Amino acid sequence: MKTIDDLGDLQGKKVLVRCDLNVPLDGSKITDDGRIRASVPTLRRLLDSGARVLVVAHLGRPKGSPDLSSSLEPVSARLAELLGQPVRFAEDTVGPEAQAASEQLGNGEIALLENVRFNAGETSKDDAARGEFADQLAALADVFVSDGFGVVHREQASVFDIAKRLPAAAGGLVQAEVEVLRRLTTDTKRPYTVVLGGSKVSDKLAVIDNLLAKADTLVIGGGMLFTFLVAQGHEVGTSLLEQDQVDQARGYLAKAQQLGVDIVLPTDVVVAPAFAADAPATVVSIDAIPSDQMGLDIGPASAEAFAKIIRNSATVFWNGPMGVFEMAAFAGGTRSVAAALTEVNGLSVVGGGDSAAAVRLLGFDEAAFGHISTGGGASLEYLEGKILPGLVVLEEQS
Ligand code: ADP
Ligand code: MG
For residues 337 and 349, the answer to whether their CB atoms sit within 8 Å is no
Catalytic residue among 200, 204, 214, 335: 200
Closest ligand (CA of 376) = 1
Residues 90, 180: Cα–Cα separation, whole Å: 34
Percent of the chain surpassing pLDDT 70: 100
pLDDT at 108: 98
**Cis bond upstream, residue 74 (ω within 30):** no
pLDDT digits (tens, 9 = 90+) for 272-324: 999 999 999 999 999 999 999 999 999 999 999 999 999 999 999 999 999 99
For residues 51 and 90, the answer to whether their CB atoms sit within 8 Å is no
Helix axes 353-361 and 34-48, enclosed angle (nearest 10): 100
- The question of whether 52 is a catalytic residue gets the answer no
Ramachandran class of 50: left when φ > 0, alpha when ψ lies in -120 to 50, beta otherwise: left
Task: Return the minimum-mean-pLDDT range out of 21-25, 91-95, 170-174, 217-221.
Answer: 21-25
pLDDT band at 29 (very low <50, low <70, confident <90, very high): very high
- The question of whether 200 is a catalytic residue gets the answer yes
Catalytic residue among 60, 108, 346, 377: 377
Query: Best substitution site from 324, 350, 380 to test ligand 1's pocket, by max atoms within 8 Å of Cβ?
Result: 324
pLDDT at residue 398 greater than cutoff 80: no
pLDDT digits (tens, 9 = 90+) for 343-374: 999 999 999 889 998 999 999 999 999 999 98
pLDDT at residue 201 greater than cutoff 90: no
pLDDT digits (tens, 9 = 90+) for 250-264: 999 999 999 999 999
Which protein residues touch ligand 1 with a CB less than 6 Å away? 197-200, 222-223, 240, 295-296, 319-321, 323-324, 326, 352-355, 376
CA 321 to ligand 1: nearest atom: 19
Query: Best substitution site from 354, 373, 381, 382 to test ligand 1's pocket, by max atoms within 8 Å of Cβ?
Result: 354
